[in-house]
Amino acid sequence: MVSVTAVPHAVRIGQSEGFGTVTQSVRRTIAAGLLTVLAFALLAAPSNANSGVPGVGSAGGSTTVAGIDAGDLIKLALINEQSASSIDPANGVPTATETLSPLTIASGTLPALNALSVPTVQTTSTGEADHKGTELLDLGSLPQPAPVLSGKINPASLTSLVNADGAQSSLSSTLANLGVLGGVATVDSASVELGGVAGPTSSTATRAVTIDGITVLDLRAVLRMVGLDLDKLSLSTLTNLIDSLGLIDTLNALTGLHLSKASDLLGMVNTPAVDAATLAADNAQKAFDTAQATLDSASTALDDAAANLAPAQGALDAAATNLTNAQNAAAGVLCGLPLPPAACATLAQAQADFNSAKATYDPLKAAFDAKKAAFDVAQTALNTAKSALDLALKTLNDLITTLSGTLKTLLDGVVKTLDLQPLLRVEGIQVGSIATAADTVENSGAATVGEIRNIRLGGIDLGGLNADATLGQVQALAGQATEYVNAVLGLISPKLANLVKFELFKRSSEVAQSGSYVNAVAGITGLVATVTPPDLCGVLNDVLSQLPSGGTSLPGVTLPPLPVSGVLATLGSVVNCSVAGLSATAIVPALTTPLTITAARANSVSSFAAAQQTTTTTSNPGNPGNPSGNPGNPTTSTGSPSLPRTGGNATLTLLAGTLLAVAALFTRRTLALARTRR
């Protein structure tokens, strides 16, 4: 078994290393040319070694420019392709097939999104060339039940051909200004170039993906995913974010200030008057809470006194009625005689009963009156506390309004500084995979190459990766980006400190013997970002508790709508939270399931046997609908070859042309970017 992998040499943090004093544009041109150099090395060996001995084999693979996987919520893949070329009679007649799926969407929670999937385009040939092209696709024009997609997929070109030189397939496609899930991920532009030949002397598959720039997560979109927005953050948190993201120059430009750090802004806003008004509002809130508790207690005591008084009141009323009746019956009767009439005895008893009921009633009535008086006092105190609280809040708001000429400019400047700032933006992603299978393992090869020009976190440039960085350096830069982003998010709430994870250049390459067949597999994914939702209700309470008393947002800040919340609500991704400052139970649109973003995936596979065989091994190019896309596993069938080798080695010429086109694309983009930067 032989494994050939092009792994980088140096990581640039700020200034590049590894090529000495060579300029950036020249260095990137050299890096782009590595794909061609490596490919020619892989192709030349099998071509010379086979000495024209015919064989059978296959070539194929799969590519995805960008993909999102949020489980049952949504799965999405853009510019997804799969190719398969074979001259093995065991698989039928020699055939070349190229399939392009411009857009694939699947959602279990919102099945209406499934209708947005664009039909695949396929070319298939068993002889003459089959060529197809696609028309420009404006994603924003699709009838979307939620604003999931924007941007354009430009016309693509697909070709399949079978002739004496083998089964061949190729594809070229680009996209521009892509936006996904209302801004969770955006791609400036991207392109795909690939070619594959299953030839009589070797099988080779090549793929190249270029992304000029991708913003994987911007700050505001991330906050929307956890039910927040910038106006829900305290001013101290906002200024900490600006300092941590290196955006002080942007803030100064927007506000006309000359701050050395954003936190200095707090001293301009937290004046003694504002501090005193804030303290008064806090004290008034505490007094109101105390008065409310006193009133609640007095109300309970009054209810108890009323309950005790009610039966005594009933007994007194009954005794009074009996006394009145007895008095009426004894009217005109002389009760002072030695033998008084019976009415006099009844009257005397009624009077005694009344006196007894009155004796029971009077203390209960006195207790009730006392409780009622206490209740009235508590109610008055609560009304007074409420008036004091309203006045304190009004004083604070009026003070802020008075400062609005300065404060609103400052707050708007702070928010605009952070609005849509990238938590992670990767520029100049270039990946390629080449798998060549020939008569022997030694004459075959599998290789991946990758380069990133810049990784930006807000206003901070972490540098990039040259095409020869080591695996350890790749992992170190990915870990640095992950750690830095989570540290920034932790400033908002500690519960956000493990929200995201980034991986760069996930790749594998292998050349192995399977019976008489040589199999070559090369796969690379430029970028993988995983978002794992935290305790969303806890995050909301953490953030809202930092705002001024009575406030659920910063005063004077109005943000334009951002579709992320609408998309999540439409997808049914919401949580019920009991949140301070909101209603008792608030329905909050937020991400409730892990989300994985994948960019620039290229898998190439090939197999070959030089002599006629009874067992043929082909390679499964992988599932094009899987954005994570690992290279496929070999499968086995039986048969014997029947395609004779005739003519010159046009396969090498074709692949050389394909690789030169790929290298030209890489070189053109890097030089154009270098000129732009100058």
Q: Three-state DSSP class for 475?
A: helix
Q: What is the pTM of this model?
A: 0.68
Amino acid letter, 43: L
What order do you get walking across the sheet with 500-514 strand by strand? Answer: 121-125, 95-106, 75-86, 56-69, 595-609, 517-531, 500-514
Residues of the chain below pLDDT 70: 1-53, 269-271, 336-337, 339, 400-408, 548-551, 556, 580-584, 611-678
From CA 294, how far away is CA 667, in angstroms rounded?
Answer: 77
Could you give the residue ranges of the DSSP H alpha helices within 245-339? Answer: 248-255, 265-269, 272-329
* Residue 172 tokens, joined: 């070229």
Which residue do the tokens 């003519």 mark? 647
Q: Is 332 left (phi over 0), alpha (psi -120 to 50) or beta?
A: left
- Of 526, 421, 419, 424, nearest to 215 by C-alpha is 424
Chain centre to alpha carbon of residue 251: 26
Q: Which three-class secondary structure state does DSSP give residue 310?
A: helix
Q: Which of 212, 210, 213 is nearest to 665 (CA)?
A: 210
Alpha-carbon torsion (507, 508, 509, 514), positive or negative: negative
Element (H, E) at 271: none
Looking at the DSSP assignment, which residues form a beta bridge with residue 122?
99
The two three-digit tokens of residue 500, written as one number = 């995201």
pLDDT of residue 34: 42
Distance (Å, whole) CA 266 – CA 31: 47
Report the run of H or E that residue 61 belongs to, with start and end: strand 56-69
Whether 198 and 413 have beta carbons less than 8 Å apart is answered as: no
Contact 608, 202 (CB under 8 A): yes
Amino acid at 548: P
Q: What is the predicted pLDDT for the residue at 404?
A: 52
Count each helix (H run) and each strand (E run) in the chain, helices first.
12, 21
How many Å apart are CA 438 and CA 5, to the nearest integer? 17
Q: What is the pLDDT of residue 239?
A: 87
Q: Which residue type sits at 481?
A: A
Q: What's the CA gap between 116 and 139, in Å, rounded?
A: 9
Considering Cα of 97, then 100, then 105, then 111, what sign does the dihedral take? negative
* Measured CA angle at 664 (ends 660, 669), to 5 deg: 155
- In this predicted structure, what is the pLDDT of residue 476? 92
Return the pLDDT at 398: 77
**Amino acid at residue number 153:** I
Q: Read off the amino acid at residue 255.
A: T
| 205, burial (CB in 10 Å: exposed 0-12, middle 13-18, buried 19+) | buried
